[in-house]
Amino acid sequence: MTAQTALFETTIQSLRFLHRGKVRDIYAVDEDKLLIVQTDRLSAFDVILPTPVPGKGMLLTALSGFWFEKLAHIVPNHLTGIAPESVVAEGEREQVAGRAFVVKRLKPLLIEAIVRGYVAGSGWKDYKNSGMICGIMLPAGLQEAARIPGGAIFTPSTKAAGGAHDENIPFTDAEKLLGKGLAAQVRDKAIALYSEAADYAMTKGIIIADTKFEFGQDAAGGLYLIDEALTPDSSRFWPADRYAPGRNPPSYDKQFVRDWLEAQDWDKKAPPPALPPDVLARTRDKYQEALRRLAG
């Protein structure tokens, strides 16, 4: 699969197919392991767009792999180190090369762990309406894209079923879903992951405004970082040299696609409009530059 050929959907027959998410296709390797393939699908506003971004899955896999290794001292992750090409049939290796992980089979938690360092996106809308983000009161008078005083905040959300929208929830709701001890552990680990990543990214000229982590547990209750980590799909990346509070900076992530979609006559429900070639090319360039800057 070359970077120029888009992989919208995998067709692996040698393993049992389990689930097709917004971006990832998941297969069972055995009772303890899964194969997760990053396709070139792109989603926005919780809707899968009809136009894949060629090579995007490879870029996301490389960047996630970089962060999983860099942040493993904070919390273990689900990687096994097994080569994806070794668990599929010979004729299927092209579908997984450079774009898949063989991971531990863990039980995903019922929330998405969102950490925000800046007032942006849905957080900015929330703040304008209420002075709060997910029930957390912030100082009055903050501008759009302002850094959150006092450090990053944890703003969990629900995991919506296919087609529905994730909903931000207060921390007390996360405690009800997970239990107080686990909710606190997830919050503390998520903030630690974000903080170290954001400090590192700043040395590479990138501001990580916010990000979403997912966690899972093993049978003994051990906590693991799963899914992906700090990619343009799950984070808001801004060029530090073009940042100024009061406006949304240009980004290295799919905010460019979101902005284009917001300008269309679309109700944010399926079916979404197809992306034009120039939006597709610029999106891929942004993902590629983020990977180059952060991981070399």
pLDDT in tens, 170-182: 999 999 999 999 9
- Would you state the pLDDT for residue 165? 67
pLDDT at 3 over 50: no
Which pair of structure tokens corresponds to residue 157?
A: 């959300």
Confidence of residue 5 (pLDDT cuts 50, 70, 90): confident
What's the mean pLDDT in 79-88? Answer: 98
pLDDT at 293 over 60: yes
Do 131 and 137 contact (CB within 8 A), yes or no?
Answer: yes
End-to-end CA distance of the chain: 22
- Angstrom distance (rounded) from CA 207 to CA 201: 6
Domains of the chain are: 16-104 (3.30.200.20), 107-254 (3.30.470.20)
Confidence of residue 4 (pLDDT cuts 50, 70, 90): low
What's the mean pLDDT in 82-102? Answer: 98
Which residue shows structure tokens 């490389």? Answer: 62
Residues 95-117 pLDDT 10s: 999 999 999 999 999 999 999 99
Which pair of structure tokens corresponds to residue 32?
A: 């303890």
- Would you state the pLDDT for residue 57? 96
Do 37 and 108 contact (CB within 8 A), yes or no?
Answer: no
- Would you state the pLDDT for residue 164? 61
- Would you state the pLDDT for residue 26? 98
Do 247 and 227 contact (CB within 8 A), yes or no?
Answer: no
Residues 128-171 pLDDT 10s: 999 999 999 999 999 999 999 999 999 999 986 655 667 889 99
What's the mean pLDDT in 37-55? Answer: 93
- Would you state the pLDDT for residue 2? 40
Q: What are the phi and psi torsion angles at 56 (to 5°)?
A: -60, -40
Residues 212-254 pLDDT 10s: 999 999 999 999 999 999 998 899 999 999 999 999 888 887 7
Q: Which pairs count as long-range contacts for 78-86, CB under 8 Å and 24+ apart, including other chains? A: 78/103, 78/104, 78/106, 78/216, 78/224, 78/225, 78/226, 79/103, 79/104, 80/33, 80/104, 82/33, 84/35, 84/37
